Amino acid sequence: MTPMKHPRDPSRSDDADTLAADTASAPALAQTLEASASLGPVTHEATMADTGFADRYVTRRLLGSGGMGEVRASKDQRIGREVAMKVIRQGETTGGEDRARFLREARIQGQLEHPAVVPVYDVGLDPDGTEYFTMKRISGVTLGEAIHSTTKDEKDERSRFTAHKLLAAFLQICLCIDYAHTRGVLHRDLKPANIMLGDFGEVYVLDWGIAKLDDDVDEKPVESVRVDTGQVAHTPTLAGQVFGTPGYMPPERIAGDSADGRSDVYALGAILFEILTGERLHIGKSVDELIESTTRGANARASLRAPSRDVPPELEAVCVRATESDPERRFQGVRELHDAVERYLEGDRDLELRRELAETHAQQASKAAAMAFETDDADGGHRSKALGEVGRSLALDTHNRRAQQTLAALLTRPPDEPPPAAKIEIERRSAHEVRSAARIAAWSIIAIASFAALMTLDRAAVADVLPMIVPAAIASALCFVVGYGKRSAGPLPLVIVLLMCAAIAASTGFMGPLVVTPGLALAIAIVAFGLGRGEVYRGVVVAASVLTVLAPALLEITGVIASTYRNEGGGILIVPRLFTVPDRSYPIAVLIACVITIIVPALFAWGLTKRHSDLGDRLHVFKWQFGQLVPKDAQVDVDPHGAAVSHRNEATPKA
């Protein structure tokens, strides 16, 4: 639809020069308004009949008020749409200059045809002669309310107004102001309260009431302003003595210097600072304090004012430059400011995608970990998937808290049963330890058997010592086979244990079953524990060690074989069945046997303890290294058995 030109305004156009000329003269604009009020009907149809103001507009409620006027919700019954009607505030102080500025706002806003400028529908006089203009009715929240919501604890509000969304809206604001500057218009009252964020992504720059054209004369500098703003939750726009809002006005405006586009750059820099920190650049309880802060200059380093916000250094540098007290050191145009923020967002867009993808992987990891903890994850599938998803998430975003917490839970809560892949590694490590123990056992058996052979040399028949020497020799040979072989030991460790127990049982003919034999049986049991694994195997070892002592003792007690112990003179006399020991060598033989029974298990225990200690040290080192992968507040405390006992945060993921 082509806009209808008023009879007394034939020169109306869209170029900047005409805009400045049209708005420079308030009386001419008033004549135009009077002419528009006297226009004839648009059509003769009943629904389009030219009606009076009271019949056309139905005023509903007050939406808000400003320095010069108030905005009411109304309905244009001619067209049938909801509109916002701005009416100049009536009072004793309302003069011709205020009326001219009010009407000029309508013309400026109406001719700035930009998506972020609320379109003007109508301008005129009501029956009381009060100036008004109607515009599009918009809904949403102000940028100030959106910023304030990011400082609250409501998660839904924070997700609705993310930093990325607010920065994207900021770019639209910059483009709108840059467009206005190309049309020769300075807004001069930019602040979060004058920016509206719609429910469907719309962004509007409101309140062009004190906008300045290039050919306007600047107002006088601020001399004495005494308007108490309380906690400056909504710092008012001051009219009369100064045009603008303290805290967003640049120092040169306060000093009365000529204003240009860099004044709006300063206000936009203050808005950007507020988006990044949730705090105002200039803080004060009164206008005087805000003006003093502006004149003195505030530190716009957002990372210092809001360290918890993790402000990017690129945007911090933009804030600092945009709010320089010296206009020459600022961005020289709004487009420069826009481009600086856009360059960051273009780089941040990839980062945002990486974060979103990382969060997706983190959620999958959390679900898989919960399944691993709550179900019988025998094959380790859920745990494997959880660890894989954690790795993908942290590769995309090392700071993803959900992935960090899941990783901490997985590392500190091992599975009850090793998964198949881990069992293979465990068996490989176990085979290595068995071979190492078998080599030690072979030489230990040779030492014991050699001592027994030497003690019986020339003192007993060969047939008497064969039951002891032969099993020991076979056991030693098998130990060498296991110790230096490449294949699995299979049942050989159990065969070795039984042969050694048989050899020790046969040696009871030397000193009986109750002197050296228990020590040797214990030594064999300790050695045997290093040769094999499994509960059944360990049970057989214990039973065989006990029978090594118990069987010969029972045979002597029942008289099946000759007893090696006699009671004489109130003491016990040991009478070997296999040979007679000279009085001088017998104590030496017993001493050597006892030493051997001590040394053999001690050496074995030494080796086992050292391996256990080394393994424990390595596990603690691994735990420390894993702990460095996640922040301290995401780590999990565990008891010595590996069970999680406390969480500094929600370390245990839930599906």
What does the pLDDT read at residue 456? 57
pLDDT for 156 beyond 60? no
Domain final residue pick, 518, 552, 581? 581
Q: Is the pTM of this model over 0.85?
A: no
What's the number of CA atoms in the CB half-sphere (13 Å) around residue 238? 28
Q: Give yes or no: residues 57 and 165 share one domain.
A: no
pLDDT for 328 beyond 70? yes
Name beta bridge partners: 69.
88
> C-alpha distances in angstroms, 23 versus 86, 126, 211, 212, 260?
18, 21, 11, 10, 18
Of the ranges 116-125, 237-246, 293-302, 360-369, which one carries the lowest mean pLDDT score? 237-246
Query: Which span out of 191-205, 350-364, 471-485 was modeled with the highest average pLDDT?
Result: 191-205
At residue 639, φ and ψ (nearest 5 deg) are -85, 175
Q: Give yes or no: residues 433 and 311 share one domain.
A: no
35-78 residue pLDDT tens: 444 434 434 343 444 457 878 888 888 887 766 778 889 998 88
CATH of the domain at 248: 1.10.510.10
Rounded Cα gap, residues 381 and 385, in angstroms: 6
Encode 521-551: b = buried (16+ Cβ within 10 Å), e = exposed: bbbbbbbbbbbbbeeebeebbeebbebbbeb
pLDDT for 115 beyond 60? yes
pLDDT for 629 beyond 60? no
What does the pLDDT read at residue 459? 53
Q: Give yes or no: residues 306 and 173 share one domain.
A: yes
103 alpha carbon, distance to own chain's centre:
52
pLDDT bin (cut points 50, 70, 90) of residue 33 is very low
Average pLDDT over residues 591-599: 70
Q: Give yes or no: residues 318 and 231 share one domain.
A: yes
Q: Give yes or no: residues 176 and 52 share one domain.
A: no
Asked if residue 150 is part of any domain, the answer here is yes
Amino acid identity for residue 129 in this structure: G
Q: Give yes or no: residues 445 and 475 share one domain.
A: yes
Q: Give yes or no: residues 452 and 576 share one domain.
A: yes
Q: Give yes or no: residues 110 and 211 share one domain.
A: no
Rounded Cα gap, residues 322 and 337, in angstroms: 7
Q: Give yes or no: residues 460 and 568 share one domain.
A: yes
Q: At 249, is the secondary structure helix, strand, or coil?
A: coil
For residues 149 and 159, the answer to whether their CB atoms sit within 8 Å is no
Asked if residue 302 is part of any domain, the answer here is yes
For β-strands 571-574 and 565-568, DSSP reports them as antiparallel
pLDDT for 232 beyond 50? no
pLDDT bin (cut points 50, 70, 90) of residue 94 is low
Asked if residue 624 is part of any domain, the answer here is no
Asked if residue 593 is part of any domain, the answer here is no
Q: Give yes or no: residues 299 and 172 share one domain.
A: yes
Asked if residue 146 is part of any domain, the answer here is yes
Residue with tokens 């009060």: 130
Asked if residue 640 is part of any domain, the answer here is no
Encode 192-203: b = buried (16+ Cβ within 10 Å), e = exposed: bbbbbbeeeebb
What does the pLDDT read at residue 175? 94
Average pLDDT over residues 223-247: 50
> C-alpha distances in angstroms, 383 versus 24, 244, 394?
75, 61, 16
306 alpha carbon, distance to own chain's centre:
18
Asked if residue 347 is part of any domain, the answer here is no
Opening angle at CA 308, ends 304 and 312, nearest 5: 70
Average pLDDT over residues 168-175: 93
For 459, the token pair is 């003192």
Q: Give yes or no: residues 130 and 158 share one domain.
A: no
pLDDT bin (cut points 50, 70, 90) of residue 503 is confident
| Among 510, 498, 418, residue whose Cα is nearest residue 464 | 510
261 alpha carbon, distance to own chain's centre:
40
| Among 229, 348, 225, 342, residue whose Cα is nearest residue 284 | 229
Domain final residue pick, 332, 352, 378? 332
Number of domains forming the structure of the chain: 3
455-483 residue pLDDT tens: 555 555 566 677 888 888 888 888 888 88
Average pLDDT over residues 83-100: 76
Average pLDDT, the chain: 75
372-418 residue pLDDT tens: 888 877 777 888 888 889 888 888 888 888 998 888 888 778 777 77
Asked if residue 379 is part of any domain, the answer here is no
What's the number of CA atoms in the CB half-sphere (13 Å) around residue 172? 19
CATH of the domain at 121: 3.30.200.20
Name beta bridge partners: 569.
none
Provide the domain limits for residue 55.
16-136
Residue with tokens 């702990």: 627
Q: Give yes or no: residues 168 and 103 share one domain.
A: no
Domain final residue pick, 104, 136, 168? 136
